[in-house]
Structure 1
Amino acid sequence: MDELLASLAAAVDAVRAAGGGRAPEALGPGELMAVNEAFGALRRRVDAAYLPVATEITRQSRTELGKDSLARKQGFRSPAMLISATTGATVGDAVRMVTVGEATAPRTTLTGQSAPAKHPHVAAALSAGEIGMPAASAIISMLDRVAIRADRAAADRMEKTLAAAAPGLTLDQLHKLIARAEAHLDPDGLAPREEQLHADRFLTVREDRGGAILVTGAFDPENGAPIKAAIEGLVTGMIRRRDDTAGPVAEDTRSVRQMQADALADLCRHALGCAEVPTGPSTTVVVRMSLSDLEAGTGAGEIDGIAQPVSAAVVRRMAADAQIIPCVLGGESEILDWGRAKRLFTPAQKLALVERDGGCAFCGAPPHMTVVHHLRWWARDAGRTDLGNGILLCVACHHRIHNDGWDIRIDGTGSGARVWFIPPPWLDPARTPRLGGRTRYDLAA
């Protein structure tokens, strides 16, 4: 406990030093980011320090103690409710605290010998202040789900990989990485989950008493991907027209949710008056898988814009649809580097960049919301229309990078190249490169 308290004291000192004792509104951008990072480190240290406390409260509140249970003595029905009341966390968060605490605490065998924690790599990352409780809980939950079916050594390596990759990722980004990790550790579990999602699909359309038409539904990835792509593609077109046009179009004040509702209505109007299958806006659904896995029917594939990996069977079915583009990695492809012969990147080049960047290389927006930009400008800097000089960015990130002075560096070639964003000096005096693109979600240790 003394060691944990010392680490907390050091984290508090770091917060004070980062701000120099000044109010937040008196700080420059770089100083404000330093204070933000110091508070993040402090919060992670507090998580690490409190988890053993939550675990011990649970141990002293176990059911077999009856009326001598600590929680009952304090007037609570369960240790989670006690923790929730005293920390301000939800009961669900309290349960997760206990789970993480038990999974990362040193253990004692039946013979009285000391044993490492159930999840030692997560425990080490927590103790070092590299990850907080939410990230630890997400990783542990997945590992526990696949524990029965996954190879133990592979699960241990994956735990180490995820614990190392989690710092710097948002929780949504980490969940995307965890979904890929689960598919890698338990590929046989994909098909049953897909069958259940398919069985649970539904759509209801009804009119409420006020006259509104209520549409509610849930879809499996195979059926949901084209719906999602079509609606998001239409919405992206609406936003671009609003941003690039003066006059009435530029005065469009609809929210994204309102645009999505209008996009669905537009698709249905088109379907009612069209003899052909509606193809929607200029957007595509790309399913991706290695050639060896596709031929063998093993492993997992990906659908652009869908975080959950899918089985080889789903990839094969979707690849048979003429309106969906299958991207088989390792197969033959057309020439993608056009040099100065073309001003604009071709659709084939954009598909290749999707393999590398996965969408907006900066913020992670889906591919259909992005356009290809030259790193070295075509007109001003004689930049080539080659893959090595292109990057996928959404409109907002493109403007932010240019206006704020970010630099971009690409290491390597092809879909495995690594994209780095280098912040401007006013934001980060050290200009520490930040990894972008699809490689943020690589599972290789």
Structure 2
Amino acid sequence: MSSPLDALADTVHAVRELWPGEQLDALAGADLVKVNNLLGAARRQLDAAVTKVTAEISRQSRPELGPESLAKKHGFRNANSLLSGSLGTTGGEAAKLIEVGEATAPRVLLTGERAPARFPHVAAALSAGRIGAAAASVITTMLKRVQIRAGAEAVDEAEQTLVAQAAGLSIDLLRKVVRSAEAYLDPEGVAAREEELRASRYLRMWEDPDGALMFNGRVGPEHAAPVKTVIEGFVTAELAAQRAAEASDDPDVPHRTIPMIQADALVRLCEHVLACEHSDVPLGGATVIVRVSLEDLENGTGHGTIDGLSAPISIGTVRRMAADGGVIPCVLGTESEIIDWGRQRRLFTKAQRRAICERDHGCARCGAPPGITKVHHIRWWSRGGTTDMNNGVLLCEACHHLIHDNGWDIRIEGVGTKAKVWFIPPAHVDPGRTPQLGVRHRYDHTAA
């Protein structure tokens, strides 16, 4: 019988034939793909050898051997610590290799007789290099979990099917297949696992040293479904708007990564709940309160604070938040007296939003769809701005930040849905501060 290393040696020889030197850029595309495929085969073949060795090291390092344990003879506490150090991996990864090795190695019975591997089909595929150790671990871990309830015959059938499906699949896709197989083999276990997931759900929040709020959480499929659906829907809409804005060659369009957009989605959802007049979410009167002195707010100096968070915020951020409909500012005078707590009816009504949508058709500056915009006060509420159409404008989050961060002004010309929105750039962008027409009237000649 050939050694597991014989196939590996043949594969390495084939790689050297295609890739004799160090440079890869001279290889044709087809040859580069062949080299990649051969290296994948080599990794799987090496996995077959590694799992056999780890299984034997684990067998010779059994706790009952005491000081005669192979690991202890070489100065290690157990097989796991020996392997993690020599293979340069984590303790958890070493433990998985040992489990795969033990599940796929021939067994020695108490009588001294040899028996087939616990999972012979996985063992055969691993030895042949059709699957790697990671795939073998995913399959055998699940099969061990359901073995008693499903029965030997069903498990053997599932093992053959999964091994055949695993070849060529990524581990992420294989996990999906294995989860489906587990539900088929152990339908009663699905409900039990769901109950475990419900009981173990959590969301933790804490501030890091820089003052950023950090999140860590875990929810089962039942609670994950609405969260994932809404956030992915938001990301899809935002990416479409971002691509449209980038196509316009606007140099001011900010580029956001998907993780950034997902964070924005969470913020927008919470802002929506705070601002919604008919929300049935029990918030106990929760309100975002931003504290700032009247002098700092008017002069653009100093900083502000947000109730419940320890990090100070810049005056620019205070001004942006003061302009948002979902936040009530607490403006303090020189003697710390309360000048303005804001007014609860500061939000634009749904009817007003519909009318402003009819006028602006989306973000008034970049044209992003109405669904990802908010109505913002042009003259800030904290500065006496009114909640009417001529003091409201639809802006997406990116344009809202651009306007407030860079000193742009907005002017409404006309009344009602035929009014035009003008954006006046700051002097550092245009010394003449020439007004720029909003996107609807700039590109839609029928709106004139």
Both proteins in one fold, TM over 0.5: yes
Q: CA–CA distance in 2 between the matches of 1:79 and 1:194?
A: 35
1:387-426 → structure 2 map (5 Å cutoff): none
Please list, as runs of the form range in 1=range in 2, the aligned pairs for 1:240-319 lying within 5 A after superposition.
240-245=240-245, 246-248=248-250, 251-275=253-277
* Residue 112 of structure 1: how far off its partner (Å): 4.2
Q: TM-score, normalised by structure 2?
A: 0.58
Specify the alignment match of 1:108 in structure 2.
108
CA distance in 1 between counterparts of 2:196 and 2:137 reads 25
- Does the Cα contact within 8 Å between 2:5 and 2:46 map onto a contact in 1? no
Give the C-alpha shift of residue 270 in structure 1.
2.3
1:4 equivalent in alignment to 2:1: no
Tell me: CA distance 1:257–1:249, structure 2 relative to 1, closer, same or farther (3 Å).
farther
Does the residue aligned with 2:148 lie in a helix, a strand or coil? coil
Q: Whole-Å Cα distance in 1 between the matches of residues 54 and 209 of structure 2?
A: 48
CA–CA separation in structure 1 for the residues paired with 2:162 and 2:135: 10
Amino acid at match of 2:109: T
**Equivalent position amino acid for 2:94 in 1:** A
1:15 counterpart residue number = 15
Whole-angstrom CA distance in 2 between matches of 1:110 and 1:210:
60
Q: Which residue of structure 1 lines up, in the alignment, with residue 127 of structure 2? A: 127
Q: Map of 1:170-249 to 2, 5 A cutoff?
A: 170-205=170-205, 210-245=210-245, 246-248=248-250
Question: Residue 21 of structure 1: CA displacement?
Answer: 4.8
Per the TM alignment, residue 19 of structure 1 is displaced from its structure 2 partner at its CA by 2.6
Matched to 1:7, the amino acid is A
**What is the alpha-carbon distance in structure 2 between the residues aligned to residue 209 and residue 20 of structure 1?**
51
Structure 1 residues 31, 114: closer, same or farther in 2, change over 3 A?
Answer: same
Q: Which amino acid aligns with 1:45?
A: Q
* C-alpha separation in 1, matches of 2:190 and 2:252: 45
Task: Map Cα deviations across residues 188-217 of structure 1 (whole Å, 9 max, x no partner).
Answer: 011111112112223345556654334443
Q: What is residue 74 of structure 2 aligned with on the other side? A: 74
Report the CA distance shift for 1:78/1:204 in structure 2 as closer, same or farther (over 3 A). closer
1:395 corresponds to which residue? none
Distance 2:70 2:112 in 1: 25
Partner of 2:25: 25
After superposition, give the CA deviation of every residue in 1:123-143 in whole Å (9 maximum; x if it has no partner). 110111101111111111111
Structure 2 residue runs of 5 or longer lacking an equivalent are 281-448
Cα pair distance change 1:216/1:123, threshold 3 Å: closer
- CA displacement 1:77-119 (0-9 Å, x = unmatched): 0111111222222222221111111111122334444322110
TM-score for the superposition, normalised by structure 1: 0.58
Distance in 2 (alpha carbons) for counterparts of 1:251 and 1:38: 44
Match of 1:96 in 2: 96
| Cα distance in 1 between the residues matched to 2:215 and 2:104 | 44
**Structure 1: gaps of 5 or more residues:** 279-445
How far apart are 1:273 and its partner, in Å? 3.0
- The residue that corresponds to 1:62 in the other structure is 62
Tell me if the contact between 1:243 and 1:250 (Cα under 8 Å) persists in the aligned partners: no
1:20 Cα offset (Å): 5.0
Distance 1:52 1:237, change over 3 A: same
Equivalence map 1:332-343=2 (5 Å): none
Aligned-partner residue type, residue 201 of structure 2: R
The residue that corresponds to 1:149 in the other structure is 149
Supply the AA of the counterpart residue of 2:146: V
State the Cα deviation string for residues 279-335 of structure 1 (Å, max 9, x = none). xxxxxxxxxxxxxxxxxxxxxxxxxxxxxxxxxxxxxxxxxxxxxxxxxxxxxxxxx
In 2, Cα distance between equivalents of 1:47 and 1:69 = 24
Q: Percent identity at matched positions?
A: 48
Partner letter of residue 264 of structure 1? L
Contact 1:244–1:250 under 8 Å retained in 2: no
Confirm or deny that 1:37 pairs with 2:37: yes
Q: 1:269 to 1:16 in 2, by over 3 A?
A: same
Give 1:3 shift.
Answer: 2.5
2 CA distance for matches of 1:212 and 1:22? 45
- The letter for the 1-side match of 2:170 is T
Q: 1:104 to 1:173 in 2, by over 3 A?
A: same
- Tell me: CA distance 1:218–1:249, structure 2 relative to 1, closer, same or farther (3 Å): farther
Number of equivalent positions: 278
Checking the alignment, whether the CA contact within 8 Å between 1:18 and 1:38 is kept in structure 2 is no
Matched residue type, 1:271: V
C-alpha separation in 1, matches of 2:215 and 2:100: 38
Provide the residue aligned with 2:287 in structure 1: none
User: How well do the aligned residues superpose, as a CA RMSD in angstroms?
Assistant: 2.2
Which protein has the larger Cα radius of gyration, Structure 1 or Structure 2? 2
Distance in 2, Cα, partners of 1:253 & 1:10: 48
CA distance in 2 between counterparts of 1:183 and 1:198 reads: 18
Task: Assess if the C-alpha contact under 8 Å between 1:103 and 1:118 holds in 2.
Answer: yes
Higher relative contact order (CA 8 A, sep 6+): 1
1:255-283: CA deviations, max 9, x gaps? 222111111111222233334569xxxxx
Shift of the 80–205 alpha-carbon distance from structure 1 to 2, 3 Å rule, reads closer
**Equivalent position amino acid for 1:153 in 2:** E
Bigger drift between 242-251 and 99-108 goes to 242-251
Q: Offset at 1:251? A: 2.7
What's the offset of the Cα at 1:2? 4.5
Partner amino acid, structure 1, of 2:274: L
Equivalent residue for 1:83? 83
